[in-house]
A = this chain, B = another copy of it.
Amino acid sequence: MARTQGSHSEITGPRIRAAALKLFAAHGYAAVSMRQIAREVGLQAGALYNYTPDKQDLLFSLMKAHMDELLSACASHVTSGDATTRLRNFVDFHIQFHMGRADEIFIAYMELRNLSPENFETIEALRRAYEDTLGAILEAGLTEGVFDVPDPKVTTRALIAMLTGITTWYRPDGYLSPADVSEIYWNMTRKAVGV
């Protein structure tokens, strides 16, 4: 037996990550075994260790990759303009990004407690950095005198919680298009900050 036909590192690696992502999102990190992940890919459990040092690192690298992608995509979508424009761009970006990545978002929010302390600190820092981009927009709106928010920090968290909530109910085959959803959430956000 051993190596089967046509298998390659460049193919197997991503397939393992995709399987882990799907299974972690569906059942939770702790409830998924390395053997289940391997079975999903069509391997024996031992083969996974050619691609990850251990299970913990598999989770961490998925979360890290997600956060890195989130931050860089956000930075390129929410760039210039006045505070209101940037807020609108942020809302649109957040909705669009989160709609297409249900599994990643689920894991990023649910599996924080299964990270080792160092890994948690790394992910938490990235999460705070993302939060701060919205925080900065709200602060800018305050100094421009166009927003009416009593506590920018609390408002930031409230808005992000509201926007991220779409992942719990949005389905592509529902009666609302992504643009509809964006419009509804933008109007709520806009009014909530007093524009």
Interface of A: prevailing SS? helix
In the bound complex, CA of A115 to CA of B46 (Å): 30
Interface 9-residue window, one of A2-10, A23-31, A56-64, A79-87: A23-31
B160 x A165 contact (CB < 8 A): yes
Residue on B with the closest CB to A165?
B161
B161 x A159 contact (CB < 8 A): no
In the bound complex, CA of A160 to CA of B168 (Å): 11
List of B residues within 8 angstroms of A110 by Cβ: 110
Report the minimum CB–CB distance from A134 to chain B (whole Å).
13
In the bound complex, CA of A85 to CA of B125 (Å): 40
B26 x A113 contact (CB < 8 A): yes
List of B residues within 8 angstroms of A154 by Cβ: 176, 181, 184
B28 x A113 contact (CB < 8 A): yes
In the bound complex, CA of A30 to CA of B13 (Å): 27
Residue on B with the closest CB to A158?
B162
List of B residues within 8 angstroms of A150 by Cβ: 183-184, 187
Known: A27-B113, A151-B176, A154-B184. 7 other contacts (CB 8 A): A27-B30, A28-B114, A157-B165, A157-B169, A158-B162, A161-B161, A192-B192
